[in-house]
Amino acid sequence: MAIPTSSGAVPGSKKRKRVAVDEPIRASKTAPKGIPTVTKAVMIRPAPKRKATETPSDDENNSETDSENDSDSEDSLALRQAEMLQLEEEVIAAKTAQARTKGLNTLLAQLKDESEEIAIMTAVGLCRTFCRLMSRGQLVRHKDHNPEQLKMVKEAKEAYVSYLKGLGTLVQSGEGTSLKLSMRLLKEESVHMKPSEDYYFPNLSYGVIIKHILLSDSPDLVTVFAEEYVYEYSDLRFEFFKAIPTISKDIPASNTIYSENLFSILYNLKDLPEPAEELAESALYLNPPSKKKKYPLFQILVHQRHFQDAWLTLLARPLPSKQRDILTILPKRIIPHLPNPRLLMDYLTDTYNSGGVTALLALQGLFNLMMSHNLDYPNFFPKLYALLNRDLMHVKYRSRFLRLLESFLNSSHLPAILVASFVKRMARLCLSAPPSAIVAVIPLVYNLMRLHPTCTFMLHRVLGKEIYGEKIRKAGFEDSFDENEMDPMKTGALESSLWELETLQSHYHPNVATLAKILSEQFTKQQYNTEDFLDHSYTSMLEAEMSKKINKDPIVEYIVPKKIFFAEEKQNEDDILPATENALLEFWDFE
Amino acid sequence: MPSQLKRLRESLKNAGVIGQPQKSKKAKKRARQNKSGNDAKLSKEAALQSIREEFNPFEIKKTKEKFSVTGGRKVKGTVGRPGISKQAGEDNRRKTLLVEMQQRNKVGGIVDRRFGENDPTMAPEDKMLERFTREQQKRSHKSDIFNLEDDDEVLTHYGQSLGSLPAEDFNEDVGSDDDILRPAKRPHPLDAEFDPENDEADGPPKKKTKAEVMKEVIAKSKFHKYERQKEKEEDEELREELDAQLGDIRALLASIPARPPPGKPTAAVQGSAKGGANGIMHADRAAQINGGLDVDSKYDTAVREMAYDKRSKPADRTKTAEELAEERAAQLQKLEKSRQRRMRGEESSDEDEAGDQEDQSDDEFGLGKGIKLAPEEEELVHGASDSDQDDSEEDEDSESDDDDDGMDEGDVEAEAASTKPHASRRRDLDNDDAYSDDYQSDEDADAFEGDEDASESEESEADLLESEDESSAPQAAVQTNGTGSDDSALPFTFPCPRTHQEFLKITSRHKMEDLPTIVKRIRVLHHPSLSPDNKSKLSDFMLAIFDHIIYLADLPTPPPMDVLEILIRHLHSLSKGFPQASAAKFRGHIQKFFDRIGQQKKTRRSDLMILTALGVIYPTSDHFHIVVTPAMLVISRWLSSNPPKDIETMVQGCYMVTLCLQYQRLSKRVIPEALNYVYQCLVALSPSPFSKPPGSFPVHGIDNSSKLRISSLPKGTYGLGKLKFKEVLYTDAISDAAAIKPTLAYAFIQQLVAFAKLYSSKTAFLELTSPATAILSHFTSPTCIKALPATLTTYINDTALPELHRLRAHAQKFRRPLELHHHRPLPIPSNMPKFEEEYSLDRHKQSYDKDQDRKELNKLKAEHKKERKGAMRELRKDSQFIAREKLKERKVADKEYHDKMKRIVSMIQNEEGAAANAYEREKAGRHRKK
């Protein structure tokens, strides 16, 4: 690492001494140290060179070999570095505010250098400088400071803030080292800048870092930040959640990069602490406060509240491409951690309007809230009913829909009228559905019939002769089902009959036809396991057919027709043969 | 219960202690004899003791029964004698545990194993004797294992004891008289040839070994063989003699030439081997025989023919025309019946069902495993459909085609006759290959005709001939078209093509129009009755025809449909012969087509053609058919995954829908995809867009642009007509793209009406056709009507819509609510209580368990539990016993110690006392002295 470890002052003083002794060697030495850290967006942990700096003989060798290998441009880099180091020393040793500010400003100016390498180098150097300043307490005001010193502190602080901003822009450009530097600074700050002996988290700096990370367009950096810091350390995660709502206020909702980065961090967050877990045991990035328990950091409820705020902030932002992902993880990974899941209702009702599978998932979330969080949502079933549209049986998420539909309707307390509407509607849709859909619907209907025996009137209704006899003989039975009615309580399906499913008993696919016959047989089976029927397709059905072995001779049409593509003109002695109509000839002319 | 006192008296009386027991004199006497006075006294004591014990109320412990159980259950252990059992246990422990305890921590010791040492009942003499015998036995038992003298182990050689070997083996001088130079070879004991006489001569008859017996047997059999040979030779000689004299005899019989006996040639060989004199004689005879041979063979054949001739039988009466028609009708009826049964999906034969039932348990509806899982084999739920249609039926049918038969034969012969002159002409024209072909055909012409004769009687020829009969008509038409008499130039024989490449090679040389003739000739030439190989050849040829149909259909120019038709019919009749092979081929094609649909590849004409052929060849009305069911799946997949996008797919889709109609013309099964497709196409074609498409068919795939809409009237007068296969499916041939759209619309509307008619009996007919009326009404709405040709609108208005309305009105009138569940109410399952014969309360409940294994297990468990408890109890008692014993020991030791101490103390006290006394005395003495 190019920066001193947490022990702060001690290595700093050591270094100073050594610098005094062999300045040129150090200058040349740091060149190879700085270079490997100048990497692209992907962060590579710089090689631990600390050991090397402590053994000068090794360093000399290193520098020699390096300088041999490296080209002139790197020599100039080394030169720059040497200058910089000197400048750093000056800054630290500066006695007046003016001198220090001047030095810092030069360095800060260098930070905006076009050359990425130099910028990084400067950032590293500045980090070192500020760390040392902090460890000497020169960034914190003291009672016994004289005006000059106060001024120095003030200006140094200003410089520090602008350095953080510069570092932030570096981070935003996807630079890995700068992320490390900033996190490192966080740590130093928490140690040396705390106002009292109490626990101190540098919220401001962290907020700046988070903001810039979320604005960066490098997904790698975001992942690294998430995996190495946020998920890893309980305090960083906590502060992250806490910071999100305030940061998001400044970012316009149209900024999709920000939203997506935030989403990816929140989406991949898996091991949020459970209430049962002992928070005090979790890993912390900064030094823990002496007295535990008292701090909000160790209260699960506070954690959850901030988690909820963070999610709500994210959900408030438009993120159409990720809706589906969010809705998928909603019931399992988000709702359990929310203190007040009912806040999601608005989001869910809004997403329902986007239609398709998203609407379905939104309904699932609503259902979850209704079931386990006491949400009252009277529109649920009408909305579900509306999803049963003409394309449903032909779309990919059909099986998912039917699976959920079963769980939604799986209560015997639902009114039979409502269930009948669903059944009738599905039956109607089956008339134009592929066999795989029919196969999924029929067992579901069977199960619903078992659950709601009233609905079996749709399969079996004996009308009284006295009341209906004359009317029916004249005009037939009037179907009371209104397919345009969108309220499942008013469709009149219960008075109708499931002619559609009866018709499907003569479906062209033998298995479908056989399956449809279960509805006209006695309901002896308790329930069908619909899971067995949901995931079929033309391909799986054909595979099932094709895997059948030809065991015995397949039947071949016995009579070889005289004509296939032409009309049969003469009717000779075969007039016993029934005249089979040839559909081909009705529509096609093969001449 | 009698009182205690009474019982006591009773038992005393029984024991003979008091009173005069009523005994017979004899018994008394015996009793007196048996017991001496002392004994009697002793037994009396014992009896008294037992009675005392019995009547001691403190010895017996009873458990009070809380409830009396009916059924006379015996409860064990209600009455016990804890004192006695405790005492027994104590005694037992004393014998075992105590001994062990005392011996603990002690090593060594002497165990007295002397016999009878601790048995006082034995007399000393007996003891001695027994000891002696033991000693003897022991010694003999532990004898030296190297003791060869012992009887038990015998050294053997080849399973024979060494002792039993012939003694002279070991005598050195035996071999010397035979061969001195050779070292005395030790003969192998099993060597059979080894001097049998020697053995026999030797001394007394001993038991023969197995080897010897075998040897004898072999010798005997050899001897017999030799005898037989000798006899045979003698016979032979006799016969030869007779043969030699035959010439003379024949000379006597002069006119009758006799056949030489069959044994002759071998005799001749032997004779020649023997030598000179005989040889001359045989040469004579050879000449003689050669002269008479063919006369001979003719006679033979005549005899054989007569032997194999069938007895003449009265032939079946020639049937009258009515009878024939009746038969035919009956057969057709039978076919129709079996078709109906298959359509309903009923299993025909019992074996099928048995097989299917097993499968059903696995996957009830044969839907396969769905998408995620790999499909497994056992999904044959509905079983391969029945096969009533035996080959035997074909036999019957052959009669019907007899008339064709004769005519065709004439054809072939005529062709054969006409070939010859042309062939010679063509020789100069054609290249070498053709030349050789022609040449060959000339050569084989006769043979071919002969074959034709032979195969004439074969029954399955009927199919082929039938087809040939049909082919002649279009061929004639073709010939008039100018290609002339090329047919006659066709060679008569072709090698049977086994692959499509071979077939192409053959057909490439000839015109397309000749194809039916070529196929026919190949089939005639390789009729299965001609050679056993032909079956497999024809089977391969069938596959080649299949491929050729694909090839022809995919050609850029349309092939003559009659040729295709005839090929399909050939395929059909061959499929009857090789149903499995053709089904496999069709299924293979279906699979390929299906995969192509999945890959969004273009549909070929050949796919349509094969599906057409499939609909002709296989019964599409079957509930389940191994070929038709997958074909239906493929068609419906095509229809659902190719929503109308352009004219080309729409035309193909129209053909697919036609196929659906064709397939379901009898069984009237519902195909949602086909209806959807028709609706989708009509929606796409409609001149003005729908505000909201009616019905519930999917609309997400329809191209909503106006590209497909019927926009402008076709030029000129537009007449409604059928789609022309050769035009619309060959895209380059489309003359007027604009005219196709109304034609397509017309076709789809027609199909709609056809579907409506097909499904008019379905209960959901109204639901199925509700979009149809809406769409048709839309077509006749003012926004559309101006873009449509007048003929089409009149068709819709005058024919299609009224028809639909009529059907719908009819359906509405007869619509009734479903009454599907007129089942007999399910009885509530009532289980009769099961009574166990011979039930006993004493038997454990679990011993009535039906499940043997469980019963055994429970028994073992109970036993284990019991044993465990018993063992624990025993252990507890053991430890109590040990503690008690230890305490006793301790007490004894303590007592000993105390006694000892006491003794010592008293001794010391004594001594002290004595000493004190002495001292006192001494003192007193001194005192006195003083």
pLDDT digits (tens, 9 = 90+) for A292-325: 556 666 777 787 888 888 888 888 888 777 778 8
Can you point out the beta strands (E) in B570-706? none
**Residue written as token pair 């072999």:** B218
> What one-character-per-residue DSSP string does A342-376 give?
GGGHHHHHHHHTT-HHHHHHHHHHHHHHHHHH---
Burial of B853 (0-12, 13-18, 19+ CB in 10 A): exposed
- Measured between alpha carbons, how far is A308 from A343 in angstroms, rounded to an integer? 9
Locate B582 and state its tokens: 């053709």
- pLDDT for A257 equals 80
Task: Give me the pLDDT at residue A293, please.
Answer: 54
Which DSSP string do the residues of B457-482 spell out, in sequence order?
T-STHHHHHHHHHHHHHHHHHHIIII
Minimal Cβ distance to A498: which of B676, B699, B818: B818
pLDDT for B284 equals 53
Q: What per-residue confidence (pLDDT) applies to B888?
A: 92
Residues of B in contact with A515 (CB under 8 A): 365, 367
Per-residue confidence (pLDDT) for residue B783, from 0 to 100: 83
CB contact under 8 A, B470 and A433: no
Structure tokens at A176: 């890995």
Contacting residues of B for A434, CB less than 8 Å apart? 636, 640, 672-673
Closest residue to A555, CB basis, from B325, B625, B722 = B625
DSSP SS3 for B157: strand
Q: What is the pLDDT of residues A201-260, one digit of tens each?
A: 777 778 878 888 888 777 777 888 877 777 778 778 888 888 888 888 877 777 778 888
Between chains, do A507 and B627 touch, taking CB under 8 Å as contact? no
Confidence of residue B316 (pLDDT cuts 50, 70, 90): confident
Inter-chain CB proximity B698 and A432 less than 8 Å: yes
CA dist B593 and B608 (Å) reads 10
CA B521 to chain centre: 42
Mutate: best of A468, A523, A587, A589, partner B, most B CBs <10 A: A587
Residue A93 contacts residue A74 (beta carbons within 8 Å): no
Chain A residue with the nearest C-alpha to that of B771: A432
pTM of the entire predicted model? 0.60
Nearest-neighbour CA in chain B from A39: distance (Å) = 45
- B654: closest CA of chain A, how far (Å): 9
What is chain B's Cα-based Rg? 58
Between CA A183 and CA A177 the distance in angstroms is: 10
The predicted structure's pLDDT at residue B231: 94
> If you count residue pairs, one on A and one on B, with CB atoms under 8 Å apart, how many are there?
333
Which residue has 């053909």 as its token pair? B655
Per the prediction, chain A carries an average pLDDT of: 75
Interface of A with B in 149-178 (CB under 8 A): none
Q: Which of A503, A548, A576 comes nearest B670 by C-beta?
A: A503
- pLDDT the model gives residue A87: 75
Show residues of chain B in contact with A502, CB under 8 Å. 763-764, 818, 820
Alpha-carbon distance A536 to nearest alpha carbon in chain B (angstroms): 4
| CB-CB under 8 Å, A582 with B572 | no
Q: Show the tokens assigned to A4.
A: 């001193």
Owner of token pair 């195969």:
B455
Instruction: Enter the DSSP assignment of B799.
Output: I
Pairing mode, strands A588-589 and B79-80: unpaired
Asked if the model's pLDDT at residue B336 lies above 60, the reply is yes
Pairing of strands B156-157, B79-80: unpaired
Q: Which pLDDT value is given to residue B724?
A: 81
Closest Cα partner for A373 from A329, A326, A335? Answer: A335
Q: Of B890, B882, B877, B875, which Cα lies nearest the Cα of B88?
A: B877
Rounded percentage of chain B residues whose pLDDT exceeds 90: 15
Evaluate if residue B768 carries a pLDDT over 70.
yes
A422 contact partners, CB below 8 Å, separation of at least 6: A385, A388, A405, A409, A448, A488
**Residue A547 pLDDT greater than 60, yes or no:** yes
CA B124-B126-B128 angle, 5° bins: 70
CA distances from A222 to A234, A313, B135, B387 (A): 18, 18, 99, 69
Q: Which of A92-106, A268-282, A557-571, B114-128 has the lowest mean pLDDT?
A: A268-282
What residue in A sits closest to B678 (Cα-Cα)?
Answer: A432
pLDDT at residue A445 above 90?
A: yes
Q: Which residues contact B466 (CB under 8 A, 6 or more apart)?
A: A560, B401, B404, B573
Q: Which residues of B touch A584 (CB under 8 A)?
A: 612, 658-659, 662
Instruction: Please tell me which residue, A466 or B470, carries the higher pLDDT value.
Output: A466
Lowest mean pLDDT among A192-196, A524-528, B827-831: A192-196
- The mean pLDDT value of chain B amounts to 74
The DSSP 8-state label assigned to residue A460 in this structure reads: B
CA distance B88 to B92: 6
Mean pLDDT of A497-508: 92
Q: Which of A546, A554, A586 sits opposite B384 (nearest CB)?
A: A554
Contacts of B722 in chain A (CB under 8 A): 586-589
Contacts of B832 (CB under 8 A, 6+ apart): none
Contacts of A551 in chain B (CB under 8 A): 380, 384
pLDDT in tens, B515-552: 888 888 888 888 888 888 888 888 888 889 999 999 88
- A434, A459, A538: residue with CB nearest B821: A459
Which residue do the tokens 């298959």 mark? B342
**What was the pLDDT predicted at B745?**
87
CB A218 within 8 A of CB A266: no
Whether the Cβ atoms of residue A512 and residue B364 lie closer than 8 Å to each other: no
Q: Do B580 and A554 make contact, defined as CB atoms within 8 angstroms?
A: yes
Name the more confident of A114 and A160: A160
Best mutation site among B390, B578, B633, B697 for testing chain A: the one with the most A CBs within 10 Å? B633
Quick check: B695 and A507 CB within 8 A? no
Those of residues 379-438 in A touching chain B at CB distance below 8 A are 390-391, 393-395, 428-435, 438
What are φ and ψ of residue A89, in 5° steps? -60, -40
CB < 8 Å & 24+ apart, contacts of B103-110:
none
- Answer whether B675 sits within 8 Å of A428, measured CB to CB: no
In this prediction, residue A75 carries a pLDDT of 66
Measuring CA to CA, how many Å separate B549 from each of A472, B546, B612, B918?
55, 5, 11, 153
How many percent of chain B have pLDDT more than 70? 68
The predicted pLDDT at position B267 comes to 44
Which residue of chain A is at minimal alpha-carbon distance from B334? A558
Q: For residue A569, which amino acid is it?
A: E
Say whether residue A475 is in contact with chain B using an 8 A CB cutoff: yes
The SS3 call for residue B160 is strand
User: Quick check: B790 and B713 in contact, CB under 8 A?
Assistant: no
d(CA A352, CA A344): 12
Which range is least confidently modeled, B65-69, B78-82, B780-784? B65-69
Residues in A closer than 8 angstroms to B370, CB to CB, are 532-536, 540
Span B883-929, pLDDT tens digits: 999 999 999 999 999 999 999 999 898 888 888 888 888 888 888 87
CA atoms within 13 A on the CB side of B76: 4
Tokens of B124: 């000393």
Residue-level pLDDT at B151? 53
Determine, for residues A476 and B573 on separate chains, whether the beta-carbon distance falls below 8 Å: no
Q: Find the radius of gyration of the CA atoms of chain A.
A: 37
- Range scoring the smallest mean pLDDT among A562-576, B196-210, B222-236, B511-525: B196-210
Q: Which of B629, B665, B692 to mutate to test the interface with A (most CBs of A within 10 A)?
A: B629
Per-residue pLDDT of A41-91, as tens digits, reads 333 344 343 333 333 443 334 434 444 444 555 667 777 777 777 777 777
For chain A, how many helices (H) and strands (E)? 27, 1
Chain A closest CA to B473's CA: distance in Å? 12
Kind plus residue range of the DSSP H or E element containing B61: strand B61-62
- Identify the pLDDT of residue B145: 59
* Per-window interface: A 483-542 vs B, CB < 8 A: 483, 497-500, 502-504, 506-511, 513-515, 519-522, 524, 532-542
More confident residue, B803 or A476: B803
Tell me what percent of the residues of chain A surpass a pLDDT of 70: 74
Q: How far is CA B641 from CA A260, B630, B694, in A?
A: 35, 16, 20
User: What amino acid occupies position B631?
Assistant: A
Average pLDDT over residues B157-166: 62
Most confident of A399-413, B253-267, B873-887: B873-887
Which position has the higher pLDDT, B424 or B149? B149
Alpha helix locations (H) across B115-209? Answer: 124-141, 196-201
Confidence at residue B140, expressed as pLDDT on a 0 to 100 scale: 73
Q: Which positions in chain A touch B663 (Cβ < 8 Å)?
A: 508
The Cα–Cα gap between B675 and B657 comes to 8
Per-residue pLDDT tens for A407-428? 889 888 899 999 999 999 999 9
Query: Which stretch of B3-7, B119-123, B565-569 has the lowest confidence by average pLDDT?
Result: B119-123
Question: Phi and psi dihedrals of A501, rounded to 5?
Answer: -70, -30
Which chain B residues have a beta carbon less than 8 Å from that of A565?
A: 561-562, 564-565, 725
Residue B292: the pLDDT is 56
Q: How far is A315 from chain B (nearest CA, A)?
A: 30
Mean pLDDT of B69-96: 82
Contact A587 B612 (CB under 8 A): no
Span B44-70, average pLDDT: 80
Which pLDDT score, from 0 to 100, does residue A339 have?
A: 82
> A460 to chain B: which residues are within 8 Å by CB?
818-822
pLDDT reading at B466 higher than 60 = no
Is the pLDDT at B737 greater than 70? The verdict is no
Q: For residues A513 and B839, which has the higher predicted lDDT (pLDDT)?
A: A513
**Cβ within 8 Å, pair B626-A577:** no
Work out the average pLDDT over A524-537: 89
**Which amino acid is it at A243?**
A
Best of B818, B819, B822 to disrupt the A interface (most A CBs within 10 Å) is B818
pLDDT at B629: 92
**What value does the mean pLDDT take over residues A506-516?**
92
Quick check: A365 and A409 in contact, CB under 8 A?
A: no
Q: Of A586, A204, A413, A562, which Cα lies nearest the Cα of B473?
A: A562
The continuous run of DSSP H or E covering B801 comes out as: helix B801-813
Query: Cβ contact (<8 Å) for A476 and B672?
Result: no
Per DSSP, A463 falls in state P
Given an 8 Å threshold on Cβ–Cβ distance, is B345 in contact with A510? yes
Domains in chain A: boundaries:
1-65+72-191, 387-462+477-546
pLDDT at position A170 over 70: yes
How far away is chain A from the Cα of B347, in angstroms, using its nearest Cα? 13
Residue A383 Cα, gap to closest chain B Cα (Å): 18
Which residues from chain B sit within 8 angstroms of residue A390, using beta carbons?
695-699
**Phi, psi angle pair for A527, to nearest 5°:** -145, 150
